[in-house]
Amino acid sequence: MSKLHATEYKRFEDIKHINADGGEYWLARELSITLDYTEWRNFSKVVDKAELACQNSGFDIDDHFVEVNKMVVIGSGTNRNVIDYELSRYACYLIVQNGDPRKEVIAHGQTYFALQTRRQEVADYFNQLGEDNKRLVVRGNIKQWNQMLAEAARNAGLITSDEYAVFQNAGYKGLYGGLDVEDIHARKNLKKSDKILDFMGSEELAANLFRITQTESKLRRENVKGRQAAIATHYSVGSKVRQTIKDLDGIMPEDLPTPEKSISKVEREQIAELKRKAKKKTLMLDE
């Protein structure tokens, strides 16, 4: 482990708590500071997304996000009661997975809180989910793997955003039979501000996830160097994924239906529903 990583990991270890039963947990407000969030309201949005991901992974939110109240001293010197959460390691993992990918500390947190069993647990539950929830799960995995792909691309020599855009287009062209991001965007009749990944069904998202994971692996495994070599690698992997779909008599990704709702909208609706249920539960307890 590098000195940098050891230092970063120590940041998470230092804020770990042990309960009376010997179980480990982290406090959300302490974690928010460690993850360089200066405002709780911004971090609480990440917690909302993590709770939704927890539910879609088949786990009980209350087992991993335990709401607690605590007294804090505000600027005026008076005490105020605020909400905090006791978080399991899994909850922390979901939080860093949904955190701001521009923060380097987020990447270290993803490694620190990674659970080796999570992929199998999600896979076991995945087939029981509805289409929108499948989309949320796969889209979340793509976000994580895209961060790793971007790092692998940088290591290969792609430095500027323009170079990375060409690299990304190459992968899409391979998978979509020559169509680039702009072509796919137009084919789906999306607005300029829409993201194509947010308007993919679970099957199309899964094909793109396979493209991304295999490209990242190949770049890293073969120590690919140079802009053109990295771009060619992404195109080649995309083409091979497309050929695999063809060999299986599958539907080409550009021919798959475009969902009416964006994943972002589905996520907002489900977070609102989670909050509604939580509020209803609190009212019932008060009664």
Encode pLDDT of 130-139 as tens digits.
899 899 989 9
- CA 283 to CA 287: how far, in whole Å? 6
| DSSP class per residue in 130-168 | -HHHHHHHHHHHHHHHHHHHHHHHHHHT--SHHHHHHHH
Write down the pLDDT at residue 272: 86
Question: Residue 72: which of 129, 34, 33 has the closest Cα?
Answer: 33
Instruction: Compute the average pLDDT of residues 13-35.
Output: 90
- CA 216 to CA 142: how far, in whole Å? 12
Write down the pLDDT at residue 116: 40
79-91 core/surface letters (b: 16 or more CB in 10 A; e: else): eeeeebbbbbbbb
Kindly state the DSSP code that residue 24 receives in the 8-state scheme: E
- CA 82 to CA 68: how far, in whole Å? 9
Do the beta carbons of residue 176 and residue 242 sit within 8 Å? yes
H or E, element range at 3: helix 3-14
Adjacent-strand bridge partners of 82:
70
Write down the pLDDT at residue 126: 75
Adjacent-strand bridge partners of 84:
68
Render pLDDT for 212-271 as a digit per residue (tens, 0 to 9).
999 999 999 999 999 999 999 999 999 999 999 999 899 999 999 999 999 999 988 888
Angle at the Cα of 191 from the Cα atoms of 190 and 193, rounded to 5 degrees = 120
- CA 141 to CA 148: how far, in whole Å? 11
Evaluate if residue 36 carries a pLDDT over 60. yes
Evaluate if residue 11 carries a pLDDT over 50. yes
Render pLDDT for 85-101 as a digit per residue (tens, 0 to 9).
999 988 998 898 888 77
Q: What is the mean pLDDT of the chain?
A: 86
Write down the pLDDT at residue 155: 94
pLDDT classification of 3: cutoffs 50, 70, 90: very low
Evaluate if residue 117 carries a pLDDT over 70. no
Write down the pLDDT at residue 225: 96
Adjacent-strand bridge partners of 70:
82
Point out the least confidently predicted range of 115-129, 162-176, 199-213, 259-273: 115-129
- CA 216 to CA 233: how far, in whole Å? 10
Any idea of the CA torsion for 45, 50, 55, 56, to the nearest 10 degrees?
110
Write down the pLDDT at residue 105: 83
% of the chain exceeding 90 in pLDDT = 56
Write down the pLDDT at residue 1: 43
**Is pLDDT larger for residue 75 or for residue 116?**
75
Write down the pLDDT at residue 215: 95
234 burial type by CB count under 10 A (0-12 exposed, 13-18 middle, 19+ buried): buried
Segment 63-66 long-range contacts (CB within 8 Å, at least 24 positions apart): 63/88, 64/88, 64/90, 64/91, 64/94, 65/91, 66/25
Write down the pLDDT at residue 109: 79
Question: For residue 122, what are its two tokens?
Answer: 């999600």
141 contact partners, CB below 8 Å, separation of at least 6: 209
Write down the pLDDT at residue 172: 98
Render pLDDT for 145-196 as a digit per residue (tens, 0 to 9).
898 999 999 999 999 999 999 999 999 999 999 999 999 999 999 998 999 9
Backbone angles phi, psi at 21, to 5 degrees: -90, 5
